[in-house]
A and B are shown apart, each in its own frame.
Chain A
Amino acid sequence: MSGTHSSLPAPIARVWEPLRERSRSKRALLLMAPLLVFELLLFVAPFLILLRISLTSGSQDLRYAAGTWSLEGYAEVLSSGVLQDAILYSFKLGLIATGITVSIAVFYAYAIWRAEGAIKSALLFSVILPLLTTLVVKTYAFRPLLSPTGTVNDLLLSLNLVSEPIQFVPGTIGVIVGQVYIVLPYAVLAIYSVLSTMDWGIVEAARDLGASRPRSVLEIVVPQAMPGIIVATVISFAWSVGAYAAPGLLASQRVPFAIEVEKRLLSNLQWEIATAYAVIMLLLMAASIGVLTVTLNRFGGEFEYA
């Protein structure tokens, strides 16, 4: 994005630039108008308000001191060990959950793509099924499953695999399991939508030329599915780093960024800190998604293993 529109906020520029390139007619702009208004009202305007609040100073009895200018919030974020620790924890959760989610999703999408008839429908339906249940209920369901007295531990104990129960929940493992479960359907659908347009013939061609089954997946299927894998990664990562429901229901003492923000907003009433925290997090997210996308894109073409 360059030229006169570089000053536009990213979401608008993202919508505007391709439009400008594809069509110079006003009609395209007119068609996009509802979306632009939507973005403006529900993203850009609130974000500007948030940005303004992050630049105020704190107040003893109010949420923030309106009308003041100060960098207090940012200073607090940059010096507070607690806040930085939450950011690190968020990214750790995000990376692990994304890695697990995308790996499972690639295999699952491949299975749907290759399946036929009733099996294909069953596989597709079982991806969509969890989306029909509310997030809180399905996430909360992991507590009786994964708690020290839960089903999984009962099973492990009765099989003599462990001598005493493991505390998956509350804890990091529980949060990751819950988060993977939340984002997996979206990741599977993103990858499957790309795979479904792919020609099986080119996989056969690769095998015919001597590529073993795993090799043909690695050389042909993965690079072809890369646009879907990138979408799946970005969805999983952004959602997991900013996760609120799974950590809220399944985490122990260590909490990620979203829970910390909630505490500052609702309990501590330190809005200047909470908003500054959010702005910094947004920048970090944008940067890391950029890095992820560029890295993954390199694997879309020819690449070497040895």
Chain B
Amino acid sequence: MSEITLDGLAKRYGEELAVEDVSVTIDDGELLCLLGPSGSGKSTTLRMLAGLETPTDGEIRIDDEDVTDRPAYERTTATVFQDWALFPHKSVLENVAFGLKMQGVGKEERRERAREMLERVRMTDHADDDPMNLSGGQKQRVALARSLAVNPDVLLLDEPLSNLDKRLSEDMQIELREIHAELEETFVHVTHDQDEAFTLADRIGIMADGNLVQVGEPNEVYQNPKNRFIEGFLGDTNFVEGVVDRTSPDAVRVETELGREVVVPTSNPDALDAGDAVSLSLRPEALSIESADAGLEADEAGQPVRTDGSTTNSVVGTVESVLYRGSTVRYSVAVEGTSVFAERTVSDSGEFETGDEIRISWDGADVLAFRDDGSRVDL
């Protein structure tokens, strides 16, 4: 139960910059996911929190106590490692009891408490096993129990699910959430898997190139990404490059590589000027597809108009490939010189085949725009 403050945390290995500047306050009892691609500095940040790396710069405070220079064994953090790092020469029970042994808890008591922890992760049957004979999922549970047994103020999880298969990893995510809810402890979870972060996190911190780029609730970072990197990293999306043609008080018209103008409604027409280069993000979930000749006509301005009269952005293209991805089907569509993908649930009737002409349309309000330097345009 602790509030953690990271203030200007940096780590350099010689010339190499692993973490440049990480500042964040993690609330008591919060589950924060540090999400980022490999090499973004998220694991190094976690190791600094654990006391396994010494920061080159900056400060770490746990409950307003400066712990920056304290070694790992004098911190009230416990880590679940990526490869679980179970002690191979100790039994499962001895592994779990190890932290208590270091705390000087008597043999009987620590064995009893270790047993309780094993029960919590449903591993009681394996108490006397050799940890090396366990499966990945079982090792993961033991590692979790071992870290929880010391009753840490902060539990640090360093991609502990990345070595598990998808199904098992998803089960463990739910279980982790339950354990977190039950213990009300502060968790910091590092992962490169967006789905995992969205499932687990109270808040997500997105890291890139050693910096914490954006911190926020899952919904917020997804709906409101701060820059192009985050938009691209959080989910598959179509980036369409273009140049602003003209702006009007309520809309920006962008000449795009789709071969036609895309209209983006705006309440902030001064955000962009004619001639600015922008990338537009068309998320697959915002795109709808239909046959090229389905119920659309062009109005006087050349904008397609639905039969019900609403205007919409749309382009026509040729299906290049159809990819079955379980519950969804992904269509890759060639439009002019570029390629756009859209998705449909399998149950939707009217499947298209390679070579079909289809119309892709979207609501302009769902489009996000980014400037040359990757920053988000506040539309």
Contacts and interface: CB of A to CB of B under 8 A. Distances in A.
B91 A204 contact: no
A211 B73 contact: yes
B150 interface: yes
A210 B97 CA distance: 12
Contacts of A201: 81, 83, 85
Contacts of B50: 208
Given A216-B73, A224-B89, 11 more contacts: A199-B85, A202-B85, A202-B86, A204-B52, A204-B81, A205-B79, A207-B51, A209-B73, A209-B99, A215-B102, A302-B90
Contacts of B307: none
A223 B78 contact: no
B94 A302 contact: yes
Interface string A263-306: 00000000000000000000000000000000000001110100
A149 interface: no
B87 A202 contact: yes
Contact of B73 (A199, A210, A223, A300): A210
Given A208-B50, A208-B73, A202 B88 contact: yes
B78 A209 contact: yes
Interface residues of B, number: 27
A211 B87 contact: no
A212 interface: yes
Nearest to B150: A209
Contact of A204 (B72, B90, B103): B72
Contact of A223 (B51, B89, B146): B89
A29 to B, nearest CB: 31
B89 A207 contact: no
A210 B87 contact: no
16 contacts: A199-B83, A201-B81, A201-B83, A201-B85, A205-B85, A206-B98, A207-B51, A207-B52, A208-B50, A208-B51, A208-B78, A209-B99, A210-B150, A213-B71, A215-B102, A224-B89
B268 to A, nearest CB: 49
A180 interface: no
Interface of A: 199, 201-202, 204-213, 215-216, 219-220, 223-224, 300-302, 304
Nearest to B156: A208
B130 to A, nearest CB: 10
Q: List the 9 closest pairs (A to B, CB-CB), nearest first.
A: A210-B102, A209-B99, A205-B85, A201-B85, A207-B72, A208-B72, A223-B89, A207-B73, A208-B79
B114 to A, nearest CB: 12
A87 B273 CA distance: 98
Nearest to B79: A208
Interface of B: 50-52, 71-73, 77-79, 81, 83, 85-91, 94, 98-99, 102-103, 107, 146-147, 150
B52 A209 contact: no
B249 to A, nearest CB: 59
Contacts of A304: 107
A116 to B, nearest CB: 12
Contacts of B87: 202, 205-206, 220
Contacts of A211: 73, 98, 102
Nearest to B106: A306
Contacts of A302: 89-91, 94
A46 B89 CA distance: 41
Contacts, number: 68
Contacts of A202: 85-88
Contacts of B107: 304
A300 B85 contact: no
Nearest to B77: A208
Contacts of A206: 87, 98, 102
Q: Which of A204, A205, A213, A301 has the most CB of B within 10 A?
A: A205
A302 B89 CA distance: 7
A210 B149 CA distance: 12
B66 to A, nearest CB: 19
A213 to B, nearest CB: 8
B149 to A, nearest CB: 9
Contacts of A204: 52, 72, 81, 85
Contacts of B146: 209
Contacts of A224: 88-89
A94 to B, nearest CB: 28
B46 to A, nearest CB: 11
B98 A209 contact: yes
B102 A301 contact: no
A212 B94 CA distance: 18
Given A202-B86, A205-B79, A210 B52 contact: no
Nearest to B89: A223
Nearest to A223: B89
A55 to B, nearest CB: 46
A209 B102 CA distance: 7
Contacts of B98: 206, 209, 211, 219
B308 to A, nearest CB: 62
Contact of A208 (B52, B83, B86): B52
A207 B99 CA distance: 9
Nearest to A202: B85
Q: Which of B51, B89, B146, B147 has the most CB of A within 10 A?
A: B89
Nearest to A306: B104
A208 B154 CA distance: 12
Contacts of A300: 89
Given A201-B83, A201-B85, A205-B79, A210 B99 contact: yes
A22 B147 CA distance: 39
A224 B52 CA distance: 21
Q: Which of A201, A208, A216 has the most CB of B within 10 A?
A: A208
A105 B150 CA distance: 34
B153 to A, nearest CB: 13
B30 to A, nearest CB: 21
A300 B89 CA distance: 7
A204 B158 CA distance: 13
A301 B90 CA distance: 6
B89 A301 contact: yes
